[in-house]
């Protein structure tokens, strides 16, 4: 009955056949025991045995399909994992290359920030100095205006 099943190895076919015979004999023995204990007759017919075999074959085919499906999904998942690992390796190489560039740019930016801070400090100092000079010029302008007013009043 397993000759049509190409997915089952010959060793397993022998074990399954032996098991089927064992089950059939056990059912026959249990039916005798049932008759002795319960005083009722239970018949084990070839039709029962054939039904048992056909149900077993259906279950076997169903489980083989499930196993094939699960195996296919597992292989697909493993392929995706391998692709992801390759992608990660490529990205790490790119990251190392770009990190060198970023480190260089970072040092350039830090130098630029330092130059800007120095120039800002100089500009602030110049602005403060210009403010002081403007205040001094304004106070002198007031003094000059007062003296001019005195001089104008003295001339008049």
| Chain segment 78-135, per-residue pLDDT in tens | 999 999 999 999 999 999 999 999 999 999 999 999 999 999 999 999 999 999 999 9
Asked, for residue 3, whether it belongs to a domain, the answer is no
CA angle 66-21-13, nearest 5°?
45
Write out the residue range of the structural domain in which residue 89 sits. 45-155
pLDDT of residue 57: 84
Total domains, the chain: 1
| Close Cβ partners of 64 (under 8 Å, ≥ 6 residues apart) | 5, 7
Asked, for residue 129, whether it belongs to a domain, the answer is yes
- Whether residue 23 contacts residue 52, with contact meaning beta carbons closer than 8 Å, is answered with yes
Asked, for residue 14, whether it belongs to a domain, the answer is no
Asked, for residue 2, whether it belongs to a domain, the answer is no
Residue range 21-78, pLDDT digits in tens: 898 889 889 989 989 998 888 887 888 888 888 888 888 889 889 999 999 999 999 9
pTM: 0.50
Asked, for residue 33, whether it belongs to a domain, the answer is no
Asked, for residue 51, whether it belongs to a domain, the answer is yes
Asked, for residue 36, whether it belongs to a domain, the answer is no
pLDDT of 4 higher than 70: no
Asked, for residue 34, whether it belongs to a domain, the answer is no
């Amino acid at each position: 009955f397993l000759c049509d099943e190409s997915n089952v190895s010959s060793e397993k076919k022998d074990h399954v056949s032996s098991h089927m015979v064992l089950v059939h004999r056990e059912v026959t023995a249990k039916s005798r025991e049932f008759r002795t204990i319960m005083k009722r007759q239970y018949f084990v017919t070839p039709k029962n045995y054939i039904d048992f075999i056909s149900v077993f074959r259906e279950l076997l085919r169903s489980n083989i399909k499930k196993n094939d499906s699960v195996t296919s999904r597992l292989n697909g998942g493993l392929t995706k994992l391998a692709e992801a690992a390759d992608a990660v390796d490529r990205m790490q190489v790119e990251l190392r290359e770009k990190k060198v560039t970023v480190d260089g740019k970072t040092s350039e930016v830090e130098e630029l920030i330092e130059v800007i801070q120095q120039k800002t400090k100089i500009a602030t100092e110049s602005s403060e100095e210009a403010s002081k000079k403007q205040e001094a010029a304004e106070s002198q302008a007031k003094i000059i205006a007062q003296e001019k007013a005195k001089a104008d009043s003295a001339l008049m």
